[in-house]
Amino acid sequence: MLSKKIEAALNAQVQVEAMSSQAYLAMASWGENQGLSGTAAFLYKHSDEERLHMLKLVKFINERGGKAVIPALKQPSTSFKSITDIFKSLLFHETKVTQEINGVVDMCLKEKDYTTHNFMQWYVSEQIEEEALARTLIDKLNLIGNDKGGLYLFDRDLQGMSAAPAGMGHP
Ligand code: OFO
């Protein structure tokens, strides 16, 4: 059974994951409008992944005797300066999400809720992967600079990375 404190922290995390999904959906749509179809496919898939992260929390809260709250969401940013701008804001967002997750993990230890602590470890690992992936993509974009051919190949690579269906891992 979840304590009220842990239930509230998990519900706050439901909102964080839902906001991530919305933010990446907006980025995907921007990419699609720019003709960056690989980047758009990658971000649509990333958005789907975040929705699965949210669902995993909703189900856990309900299974553990809590009540999951489906949150209202603010409109995410919809205009971006460049593809590099997109991945920089994605990384910035993910580092904030990591802090939120660490906060929940810390609370689990303080509350001696080892079941939820164990459940949250999946999110801890996921954040390591997501941050690393975002850093790798930013590094590549920095190398490419304003080279249109390089950007074309980058976009095509992202198309390839988006081929598998959304699962619980990173795209
Ligand atoms: Fe849910 O992993 Fe990103 O935010």
User: What CATH number has the domain bearing residue 51?
Assistant: 1.20.1260.10
Q: How do residues 24-59 score in pLDDT, each as one tens digit?
A: 999 999 999 999 999 999 999 999 999 999 999 999
The band of 163, judged by pLDDT with boundaries at 50, 70 and 90, is confident
To test the ligand 1 pocket, which listed residue (43, 126, 137) has its Cβ within 8 A of the most ligand atoms? 126
113 lines ligand 1 (CB under 6 A): no
Q: How do residues 114-126 score in pLDDT, each as one tens digit?
A: 999 999 999 999 9
- The DSSP string of the chain is ---HHHHHHHHHHHHHHHHHHHHHHHHHHHHHHTT-HHHHHHHHHHHHHHHHHHHHHHHHHHHTT----PPP-PPPP---S-HHHHHHHHHHHHHHHHHHHHHHHHHHHHTT-HHHHHHHHHHHHHHHHHHHHHHHHHHHHHHHTT-HHHHHHHHHHHHHHT-SPP-SS--
Please give the pLDDT value at position 164: 74
**How far does the centroid of ligand 1 lie from the alpha carbon of residue 149, in Å?**
30
The answer to whether residue 81 sits within a structural domain is: yes
The range of the structural domain enclosing residue 99 comes to 4-163
Of all protein residues, whose CA lies closest to atom 3 belonging to ligand 1? 94
The answer to whether residue 83 sits within a structural domain is: yes
The answer to whether residue 169 sits within a structural domain is: no
The answer to whether residue 112 sits within a structural domain is: yes
pTM flag (> 0.75):
yes
Q: Whole-angstrom Cα distance, residue 8 to residue 117?
A: 15
> Average pLDDT over the chain, rounded to whole?
95
Tokens 């990419």 correspond to what residue? 31
The band of 167, judged by pLDDT with boundaries at 50, 70 and 90, is low
To test the ligand 1 pocket, which listed residue (48, 125, 130) has its Cβ within 8 A of the most ligand atoms? 130
Please give the pLDDT value at position 81: 94
The answer to whether residue 170 sits within a structural domain is: no
Q: How do residues 139-153 score in pLDDT, each as one tens digit?
A: 999 999 999 999 999
The structural domain count of the chain equals 1
